[in-house]
């Protein structure tokens, strides 16, 4: 019999009659009348083609066929109860998994503090992180491979809901050999006189910087293109050139003088990290809790 044709109410009546040995007690358990239970059992017996109970003055007892059926029905209801318990545990965050996508820099400097808080609050939830660029993270989200993503804005996709997170400010930095530029604002055009380090093309950060330069009537020509912002900072510290990084990510290096901020006459407009979810797709309770945490300022921002 196809699953969608199974009448679970019939089997509930059968189960409780078998367990209680009484039509009236089964009716009390099911909150229906005794005639309704009797009618339901008659329908089930007619469908299965045999008697399930022997009726007597003191109640009912199972036939041999009924004993066989009860073993399967009891197992089925035990599985249903186990499923309900698992669902309750997941809603109470005692069990489950969450999958998050983010780029290397966003993961290390933005997402990680939230994940530490989340792990402390919900230690039973398994956290899976996939490191990809913003375009790749959005693609994973649309494939259903992750629950949510942390991406660099601006980003656009009609199938994705994007909520702005913490503000980010790009700035130009260099190692100690460039400390003479600390009090001398440079124009974007003047960057052509210095070795410039930038992220590879195709990233949202690179697009943001290129668009800003274009709006100022120039184009940025990097001498070296790297795959992560941490590499840009490391190369800048070692004197390979000037690099664009997010200021908040390298506060320590700026305070110790490992990195020197070089002011710009045309400062890069601030942008934000975005919290990306698939439009119209329901989130698990575990994902909802992380989304709530990401939607309020991190303790470090207060």
Same domain, 188 and 251: yes
73 and 17 share one domain: yes
Alpha carbon distance 276, 100 (integer Å): 10
Give the integer Cα–Cα distance in Å for 70 and 142. Answer: 45
Q: Encode pLDDT of 214-238 as tens digits.
A: 999 999 999 999 989 999 999 999 9
Are 206 and 257 in the same domain? yes
Q: What range defines the domain where residue 71 resides? A: 3-91
Report yes or no: 232 and 226 within 8 Å, Cβ to Cβ: yes
Both 213 and 144 in a single domain?
A: no
Rg (CA), the chain: 32
pLDDT of residue 196: 97
Which CATH number characterizes residue 10's domain?
Answer: 1.10.10.10
* CATH number, position 115: 3.40.190.10
Is residue 265 domain-shared with residue 295, that is, in the same domain? no
Based on the domain organization, do 152 and 287 belong to the same domain? yes
10-residue averages of pLDDT along the chain (302 residues): 68 94 94 94 93 90 94 88 72 80 91 94 92 90 92 86 89 95 92 95 89 96 94 97 96 96 96 91 88 70 39
Q: Does residue 34 share a domain with residue 123?
A: no
- Taken in order 178, 231, 267, 107, the sign of the CA dihedral is negative
Please give the backbone phi and psi of residue 102, each rounded to the nearest 5 degrees, phi first. Answer: -165, 155
Residues 160, 275: contact at Cβ < 8 Å? no
Interval 21-50: pLDDT, tens:
999 999 999 999 999 999 999 999 999 999
Question: Residue 157's CB: how many other CB atoms inside 10 A?
Answer: 16
* Total domains in the fold of the chain: 3
Which of 91, 120, 155 marks a domain boundary?
91
């Amino acid at each position: 019999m196809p699953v969608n044709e199974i009448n679970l109410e019939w089997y509930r009546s059968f189960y409780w009659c078998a367990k209680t040995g009484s039509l009236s007690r089964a009716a009390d358990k099911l909150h229906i009348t005794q005639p309704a239970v009797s009618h339901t059992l008659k329908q089930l017996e007619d469908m299965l083609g045999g008697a399930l109970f022997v009726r007597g003055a003191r109640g009912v007892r199972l036939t041999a066929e009924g004993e066989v059926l009860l073993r399967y029905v009891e197992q089925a209801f035990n599985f249903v109860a186990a499923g309900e318990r698992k669902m309750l545990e997941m809603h109470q965050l005692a069990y489950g998994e969450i999958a998050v996508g983010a780029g290397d820099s966003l993961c290390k400097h933005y997402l990680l503090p939230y994940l530490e808080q989340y792990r402390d609050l919900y230690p039973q939830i398994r956290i899976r992180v996939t490191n990809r660029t913003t375009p790749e993270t959005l693609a994973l989200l649309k494939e259903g491979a992750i629950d949510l993503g942390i991406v660099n804005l601006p980003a656009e996709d009609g199938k994705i809901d994007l909520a702005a997170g913490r503000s980010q400010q790009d700035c130009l930095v260099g190692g100690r050999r460039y400390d003479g530029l600390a009090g001398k604002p440079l124009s974007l055009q003047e960057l052509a006189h210095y070795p410039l380090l930038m992220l590879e093309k195709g990233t949202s950060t690179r697009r943001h910087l290129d668009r800003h330069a274009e709006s100022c009537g120039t184009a940025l020509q990097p001498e070296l293109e790297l795959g992560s912002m941490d590499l840009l900072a490391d190369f800048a510290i070692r004197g390979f050139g000037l690099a664009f990084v997010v200021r908040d990510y390298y506060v320590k290096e700026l305070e110790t003088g490992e990195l020197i901020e070089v002011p710009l006459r045309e400062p890069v407009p601030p942008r934000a990290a975005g919290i990306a979810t698939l439009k119209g797709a329901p989130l698990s309770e575990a994902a909802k809790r992380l989304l709530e945490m990401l939607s309020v300022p991190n303790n470090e921002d207060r």
